[in-house]
Structure 1
C-alpha cells in the first residue's frame, strides 16, 4: 500500500508541475502555444478522421486566442495585442 501511495503522490506532483509549466508557457508564449494546439489538431486529423472536418484547426486557434488570455490573465492579451 505504501508503494501505491508514493506512486499516487508522485503522479499528483507531476501533474501539478506540468499544469504550472503550461500556465507559465501560456503567459510567456501565447502565440506559440496557440500554434502548437492548432498543430496538434492537424496531426490528430491524420489518425482521427473526424478531426479532418473543414475549419476545425482554425476554430481551435480562435478558441485558443480567446481562452488563453482568460486562463492566464490580462498580461497575455497585452503581449499579443499591438500597442497604439
Structure 2
C-alpha cells in the first residue's frame, strides 16, 4: 500500500476521533459552528447569491440545524 495513502487514512481517522470528542464535550459550540458554516455557504455560494434564496436558506438552517444537532446531543447530556 502507498505510504502516503496510509498516512492520509491515519490523519482522517484521528480527525474523526477528535471531532467526535469535541462533539461530546462541546455540543453547543459544535452546533454554533455548524450553523455558521451553513449560513456562510448560503451567503457565499455562487448559485445562491440571490438575496431572497440566501435569506431563506439561512433562516431555515438557523432553525433546523440547532434542533437536529440539539436533539442528538440531548440524549448524551445528563440532566444537572
1:65-84 equivalent positions in 2, closer than 5 A = 65-69=70-74, 74=76, 77-78=77-78, 81=79, 83=80
Partner of 1:41: 38
**Contact kept? 1:34, 1:65, Cα under 8 Å:** yes
Instruction: Give unpaired runs (5+ residues) of structure 2.
Output: none
TM-score normalized by the length of structure 1:
0.71
TM-score normalized by the length of structure 2:
0.74
Give RMSD over aligned pairs.
2.0
| Structure 1 residue ranges (4+ consecutive) displaced by more than 6 angstroms after TM superposition | none
Spell out, residue by residue over 1:52-81, the C-alpha distance to the aligned partner (whole angstroms, 9 max, x if none).
Answer: 4242222111111123456xxx3xx22xx5
